[in-house]
Structure 1
Amino acid sequence: MKGRVIVLGSAVAAAFAFSIWLNKPDLDLEPLAPATLESPTLPQIKAGEYLVQIGNCVACHTAQGGAPFAGGRAVPTPFGDVYSSNLTSDDETGLGRWTNQDFYRAMRHGRSKDDRWLSPTFPYTSYTNLKREDSDAMFAWLQTLPPVKRAQTPDTLRFPYGTQLATRAWRALYFKPATTADIAAMDRGRYLVEGLGHCAACHTSRGALGGLRNKMSYMGGEIASLGWDALSLVPSKPMTDSEANELGQLLKTGINTHKAVAGPMSEVVFHSLQHLNDADLAAIVATLRALPPADSPPAARVAQVSPEQRQSLRARGKIVYAEHCADCHGDAGEGRANVYPALAGNANVNAVSATNALNLTLNGGFPPSTAGNPFPYGMPPFSQSLSRPDVAAVLTYVRSEWGNDAPAVSVVEVERR
Structure 2
Amino acid sequence: MTTSSRLFAWLALLLATTATCAATDVERGKYLATLGDCAACHTSRSGQPFAGGRVLPTPFGAIPAPNLTPDRDTGIGAWSADDFYRAMHSGVGHDGRSLYPAFPFTSYTKATRADVDAIFAYLRSLAPVKNVATPNTLRWPYRMRPLMAAWRTLYFDEGEYTPDPKRSAAWNRGAYLVEGIGHCNECHARRNSFGAMVREPFLAGGVVPVQNWYAPDLSMGANGGLAGWTEADVVALLKTGRSARGTAFGPMAEVVMRSTQHLDDGDLAAMATYLKSLPDRDAPRRRESAADARELAMRGAKVYTEQCATCHAADGRGKGDAYPPLDGNGSVTEPTGINTIRIVLSGGFAPATTDNPRPYSMPPFSQKLSDDDAAAVVTYIRQAWSNKAASVSPGDVRAYRSTPGS
TM-score bracket for the superposition, by shorter chain length: 0.7 to 0.9
Which of 86, 101, 120 pairs up with 2:82?
101
How many pairs align?
375
Give the letter for the 2:174 counterpart.
G
Instruction: Note the C-alpha offset of 1:315.
Output: 2.6
Q: Which residue of 1 aligns with 2:255?
A: 268
Say whether 1:221 aligns with 2:206.
Answer: yes
Instruction: Note the C-alpha offset of 1:343.
Output: 0.6
Instruction: Note the C-alpha offset of 1:407.
Output: 1.4
Secondary structure, aligned partner of 2:294: helix
| RMSD (Å), alpha carbons | 2.2
Deviates more, 1:375-384 or 1:186-195: 186-195
Paired with 2:339 and 2:243, the residues of 1 have a C-alpha distance of 19
Q: Which residue of 2 aligns with 1:123?
A: 104
Say whether 1:365 aligns with 2:352.
Answer: no
Give the letter for the 1:218 counterpart.
L
Secondary structure, aligned partner of 1:143: helix
Instruction: Note the C-alpha offset of 1:127.
Output: 0.7
Query: Identity of counterpart residues, as a percentage?
Result: 44
Paired with 1:259 and 1:214, the residues of 2 have a C-alpha distance of 26
The within-5 A match list for 1:78-157 is 78-157=59-138
Give the letter for the 1:283 counterpart.
A
Which of 187, 208, 221 pairs up with 1:236?
221
Secondary structure, aligned partner of 1:203: coil
Q: Is the Cα–Cα contact under 8 Å of residues 371 and 398 in structure 2 kept in the other structure?
A: yes
The within-5 A match list for 1:222-371 is 222-237=207-222, 243-295=230-282, 306-371=289-354
Paired with 2:245 and 2:261, the residues of 1 have a C-alpha distance of 18
Q: Is the Cα–Cα contact under 8 Å of residues 364 and 381 in structure 1 kept in the other structure?
A: yes
Instruction: Note the C-alpha offset of 1:195.
Output: 0.6
Paired with 1:347 and 1:197, the residues of 2 have a C-alpha distance of 21
Give the letter for the 2:48 counterpart.
A
Q: Which residue of 2 aligns with 1:174?
A: 155
Q: Is the Cα–Cα contact under 8 Å of residues 190 and 206 in structure 2 kept in the other structure?
A: yes
Q: Which consecutive residues of structure 1, in runs of 5 or more, have no partner in the other structure?
A: 1-37
Q: Which residue of 1 aligns with 2:178?
A: 193
Secondary structure, aligned partner of 1:222: strand
Instruction: Note the C-alpha offset of 1:306.
Output: 4.2
Secondary structure, aligned partner of 1:215: coil
Deviates more, 1:39-48 or 1:52-61: 39-48
Give the letter for the 2:159 counterpart.
A
Paired with 1:130 and 1:141, the residues of 2 have a C-alpha distance of 16
Instruction: Note the C-alpha offset of 1:329.
Output: 0.4
Q: Which consecutive residues of structure 2, in runs of 5 or more, have no partner in the other structure?
A: 1-17, 401-406
Instruction: Note the C-alpha offset of 1:314.
Output: 2.2
CA, structure 1 residues 142+158, in 2 after alignment: closer, same or farther (shift >3 Å)? same
Give the letter for the 1:407 counterpart.
A
Paired with 2:160 and 2:233, the residues of 1 have a C-alpha distance of 35
Paired with 1:109 and 1:305, the residues of 2 have a C-alpha distance of 45
Q: Is the Cα–Cα contact under 8 Å of residues 363 and 380 in structure 1 kept in the other structure?
A: yes
Q: Is the Cα–Cα contact under 8 Å of residues 110 and 179 in structure 2 kept in the other structure?
A: yes
Q: Is the Cα–Cα contact under 8 Å of residues 111 and 160 in structure 2 kept in the other structure?
A: no
Say whether 1:51 aligns with 2:36.
Answer: no
Paired with 1:150 and 1:268, the residues of 2 have a C-alpha distance of 25
Instruction: Note the C-alpha offset of 1:353.
Output: 0.7
